[in-house]
Amino acid sequence: MIEPGRYAHYVCEQLVVPSVPGSEGRPTPEVVARVRAGVAPWRDAGGSPGGERIYVTREQARRRRVANEAELWAQLERRGFVKLRLEELTWREQIHAFRRAKVVVAPHGAGLANLVFCEVGTRVVEFFNRAYVNGNFWRLAALRGLDYRPVVAAGAEPLAQIAAQGREDIVADVPALLAAI
């Protein structure tokens, strides 16, 4: 397995690309085990900017940013959280950060695929806007034995699955998130 560098290009005489059993967003125990085994040599390599309590920000994302992130971050920082911008970290740093974490707080987003590297029992607080609730990372958390706690923003409108394809910004329900931690 090769960790590609940023903007790296490779010319290969032979390239092996494995098929993935299951379907997108529905990890299987086999996939989780293979991913963890494949990166096992990297799990303890190097440090990371994370700590035992990490908050995964989407502040540099094009969509689904946290509209009231300043308010949320002020509360999390007081409670000892470290803010991670995953797009600024190498894959090894991401693996190490999630492996060390005891609590992960994050808005729904692809960065939570890193939950595969968390240790059993890690608390995960994933939050959503009411227009887009997606259970992909709940499934992954269940396979890893994580303490998963979803938080959906309060509101009177009914929950929807596909409204605007999940592009709306998220308004974090700060009291509910803090209670879930």
Is pLDDT of 27 > 90?
A: no
Q: Find the mean pLDDT for residues 26-31.
A: 83
pLDDT-based confidence at 97, cuts 50/70/90? very high
If one counts the domains in the chain, the total is 1
Tell whether 140 is covered by a domain.
Answer: yes
Q: Find the mean pLDDT for residues 102-107.
A: 98
Tell whether 15 is covered by a domain.
Answer: no
Q: β-pairing, 123-128 with 103-107?
A: parallel
Q: What is the mean pLDDT of the chain?
A: 86
Residue 158 or residue 148, greater confidence: 148
Tell whether 2 is covered by a domain.
Answer: no
Tell whether 16 is covered by a domain.
Answer: no
- Packed helices 136-144 and 29-38: angle between N→C axes, nearest 10 degrees: 70
Tell whether 1 is covered by a domain.
Answer: no
Q: Find the mean pLDDT for residues 138-158.
A: 89
In angstroms, the CA 89 to CA 48 distance is 8
Domain containing 53 equals 29-180
Distances (CA, A) of 170 to 31, 134, 176: 30, 13, 14
Tell whether 4 is covered by a domain.
Answer: no
CB burial readout 11-27, b (16+ within 10 A) else e: eeeeeeeeeeeeeeeeb
Instruction: Give the pLDDT confidence score for residue 164 in this predicted structure.
Output: 56
Question: What CATH code is carried by the domain that includes residue 55?
Answer: 3.40.50
Q: β-pairing, 147-152 with 103-107?
A: unpaired
Tell whether 21 is covered by a domain.
Answer: no
Q: What is the dihedral of CA 134, 77, 93, 56, to 10 degrees?
A: 20
Tell whether 18 is covered by a domain.
Answer: no
